[in-house]
Chains A and B, each alone.
Chain A
Amino acid sequence: DQQVKQNSPSLSVQEGRISILNCDYTNSMFDYFLWYKKYPAEGPTFLISISSIKDKNEDGRFTVFLNKSAKHLSLHIVPSQPGDSAVYFCAASSGTSGTYKYIFGTGTRLKVLA
């Protein structure tokens, strides 16, 4: 039972355009959401997070939107750059125990075309 779903395994975007990566979740108890980026042969690196009390968080070219009623979050990258080409994972957690035991999606491979 996949509690965090990334239904698009891959996405190609032209350099300079917007990349939109989507993530759906089923557990309404999740209260923290993160996006990680992963290059080949490296571990995932943290990109941006959002708590359930917000609906938007922005950091430079990266913005995460949270729609709690739809149990949906998305990551927008504007403008997209070739160096953004990587696999992006969304992750969700219920941190009520103080333990951020994240549940990850299966990832979306983004390719930014020069």
Chain B
Amino acid sequence: GAGVSQSPSNKVTEKGKDVELRCDPISGHTALYWYRQRLGQGLEFLIYFQGNSAPDKSGLPSDRFSAERTGESVSTLTIQRTQQEDSAVYLCASSPGQGAIEQFFGPGTRLTVL
């Protein structure tokens, strides 16, 4: 079956603009995660969705970052008023559900803020 997909694969934007990144998880996966990887860094947890529970937003770096998920399907990560330090690869992962250990990652969206 299809894996996790993300769009766009690359996004170049100007400082101050808003961007929206999309993630399509594996069908049937109830858990969805967003991470980012800045150059030379590890993967940094941003936000976690599990079913209809309130999302765990503890990793969001500022109030310019928000994410939504429609049911157990598509998720969008929105960054408002982008800054150069937001430049990173944004990775989405899904897993079968609470307690599942393995997370399945998408290919990522490379965001460059000029």
Interface residues of A (CB under 8 A from B): 2, 4, 6, 32, 34, 36, 41-46, 49, 89, 91, 95, 98-107
Contacts and interface: CB of A to CB of B under 8 A. Distances in A.
Q: Which of A43, A49, A91, A98 has the most CB of B within 10 A?
A: A43
20 contacts: A34-B101, A34-B102, A41-B107, A43-B93, A43-B107, A43-B108, A44-B105, A45-B105, A46-B103, A89-B43, A98-B98, A98-B99, A99-B48, A100-B99, A101-B56, A103-B45, A105-B42, A106-B40, A106-B42, A107-B42
B91 interface: yes
A42 B41 CA distance: 16
Interface of B: 4, 33, 35, 40-45, 48, 50, 56, 59, 91, 93, 95, 98-108
Contact of A43 (B4, B45, B50, B102): B4
